[in-house]
Amino acid sequence: MGDLRDAFKKAGLIDEKTDRRLKHEERLQKGELGREGLAQKQQQEEAERHRREEAKRADAKAAQQKHDAAQKQSERWKKLVRELEAQARRGTSGPRRFHYIDAEGFLPYLQVDDETGRRLEAGELAIVRLPDGDQVALAPRALAQELHAFEPERVLFVAGGG
């Protein structure tokens, strides 16, 4: 307390008379509390400081966990994009039209062969909008489900639901 009072005095915020009054009040307070009261007050201050430190540690731990989760999510997304690039079939052709509902509510179609049409109907394949643009492609069901977890609006068709 004395250090703070000295700093105020040097800064000119308190005068000599106020300084003497504050010192006197401090002595009176010490006398009223007694030895046990001072020890108890110190313990309370120590407990409060310890509580603040624990709260600060808990906040730092929570922030680190949040950061780690975001980084893990980002890594999962990058892995998913790489797998979609490797496994998704972009260009399709065939005698059959396979209709689906796009994000705007229109009913476009893909030209597919009979085997691909059966796989779409069975739910082995899904129609997705790729993350690197608005291109539509056929992807395996497992990748479509993972894409649905990140961005459900990109999965345009999966037989039997998401």
Residue 63 lies in a domain: yes
Q: What is the pLDDT of residues 50-78, one digit of tens each?
A: 999 999 999 999 999 999 999 999 999 99
Strand order in the sheet with 136-140: 136-140, 125-129, 155-158
Q: Does pLDDT of 30 surpass 60?
A: yes
Are residues 52 and 109 both part of a single domain?
Answer: no
- Torsion from C-alpha of 29, 31, 34, 38, nearest 10 degrees: 40
Are residues 127 and 151 both part of a single domain?
Answer: yes
Are residues 59 and 96 both part of a single domain?
Answer: no
Q: Does pLDDT of 144 surpass 90?
A: yes
Question: CA 121: distance to chain centroid?
Answer: 37
Q: What is the DSSP letter of 15?
A: -
- Pure H helices in the chain: 2-11, 16-87, 114-122, 141-150
Mean per-residue pLDDT for 132-159?
Answer: 90
Q: What is the pLDDT of residues 4-24, one digit of tens each?
A: 777 877 888 788 888 888 888
Neighbour tally for 1: CB within 10 Å:
8
Q: Does pLDDT of 1 surpass 60?
A: no
Neighbour tally for 39: CB within 10 Å:
11
Greater confidence (21 vs 35) lies with 21
Amino acid identity, position 17:
K
Predicted local distance difference test score (pLDDT) of residue 162 = 52
Q: Which of 76, 103, 124 is the last residue of a domain?
A: 76
Are residues 67 and 107 both part of a single domain?
Answer: no
Predicted local distance difference test score (pLDDT) of residue 3 = 73
